[in-house]
Chain A
Amino acid sequence: MDLLWQTAINAMYAASYMALIAVGLVMIFGVMGVINFAHGELYMVGAYCVVFLYAQEKFPFLLSVAAGLIFVGIVGLLMERTMFRPLRKNPLGGLIASIGFLLILQTLAVLGFGRRMGHVPPPTQGKIEIFGAILTYQRLFVIVAAILLLAALWAFLKRSKFGWALRACAQDAEAASLQGISMNQTARIAMFIGAALAGVAGALTAPLVSPSPYIGHSIIVTAFIIIIVGGIGSLEGAVIAAVLYAFVHTFVTTFFDGVIANIVGLALMFAVLVVRPTGLFGARERA
Chain B
Amino acid sequence: MPEPADAASAGSPARRAAPRIVGQVAGRLRFVALFAVLAVLPYLLSYSQQEIAVLLVINVLLVSSYRLLTLTGEWSLGHVVIMGVGAYASALLAKRLGVPVPLSMLIGACMAAGTAAILSFPLFRMKGFYFLIGSFAAGEIIRLIWKRFTDPFGGPKGLKRIDAVPDIETGFLSIDFYEPVNYYFLALAVVSVSLFVLYRIERSRIGLTFHAIHWQDRLAESVGVDTFRYRTLAFVIASFFAGIAGGLYAHYVGAVNPTRFGVDQMVYVLVWAIVGGTATFHGPILGVVVLTVINEIVLRGLGLDTARPLIYGAILILSVLYLPDGLESLGPRLRAWLRRRRREPAAAAGGEGGEAA
Binding site for B on A (CB under 8 A): 35, 82-83, 86-87, 90-93, 95-97, 99-104, 106-108, 110-111, 217, 221, 224-225, 228, 257, 259-260, 262-263, 266-267, 269-270, 273-274, 277
Contacts and interface: CB of A to CB of B under 8 A. Distances in A.
A109 to B, nearest CB: 10
A100 B133 contact: no
Contacts of B125: 273-274, 277
B263 interface: yes
A86 B321 contact: yes
Contact of B122 (A262, A263, A270): A270
B134 A270 contact: yes
The 5 tightest CB contacts between A and B, nearest first, are A103-B313, A100-B316, A107-B310, A100-B317, A100-B313
24 contacts: A83-B321, A91-B129, A92-B128, A93-B320, A96-B320, A97-B316, A97-B317, A97-B321, A99-B313, A100-B312, A100-B314, A101-B313, A103-B309, A103-B313, A107-B306, A107-B309, A107-B310, A110-B306, A111-B307, A257-B148, A262-B140, A263-B148, A266-B141, A270-B141
B137 A269 contact: yes
A267 B139 CA distance: 11
Given A259-B148, A263-B145, A263-B148, A270 B316 contact: no
A280 B121 CA distance: 21
Contacts of B141: 263, 266-267, 270
Nearest to A271: B122
Contact of B320 (A100, A228, A257, A269): A100
A102 B313 contact: yes
Interface of B: 75, 122, 125-126, 128-130, 132-134, 136-138, 140-141, 144-145, 147-148, 263, 267, 270-271, 274, 306-310, 312-317, 320-321, 324
A182 B219 CA distance: 37
B356 to A, nearest CB: 30
A103 B141 CA distance: 23
Given A259-B147, A273-B133, A104 B320 contact: no
A103 B268 CA distance: 10
Nearest to B125: A274
Contacts of A270: 122, 134, 137-138, 141
A95 B145 CA distance: 27
Given A93-B324, A273-B134, A274-B125, A259 B144 contact: yes
Contacts of B126: 273-274, 277
B122 A274 contact: yes
Contacts of B316: 96-97, 99-100, 103
Majority SS at the chain A contact face: helix
A221 B320 CA distance: 24
B263 A108 contact: no
B167 to A, nearest CB: 39
A100 B313 CA distance: 4
A277 B130 contact: yes
A111 B305 CA distance: 11
B310 A103 contact: yes
A101 B134 CA distance: 22
A35 B130 contact: no
A102 B271 CA distance: 13
Q: Which of B271, B307, B313 has the most CB of A within 10 A?
A: B313
Nearest to A83: B317
Contacts of A96: 270, 274, 316, 320
A266 B137 contact: yes
Most chain B CB within a 10 A radius of its CB, from A96, A262, A267: A96
A111 B308 CA distance: 11
Contacts of A277: 125-126, 130
A47 to B, nearest CB: 19
Contact of B140 (A86, A228, A266): A266
Given A93-B320, A99-B316, A108 B130 contact: no
- Residue of A35, A99, A260, A267 with most chain B CB atoms under a 10 A cut-off: A99
A106 B311 CA distance: 12
Contacts of A95: 129, 132
Contacts of A257: 148
B286 to A, nearest CB: 18
A29 to B, nearest CB: 9
Contact of A273 (B130, B147, B309, B315): B130
Contacts of B148: 257, 259-260, 263
Contacts of A273: 122, 125-126, 130, 133-134, 137
A92 B309 CA distance: 21
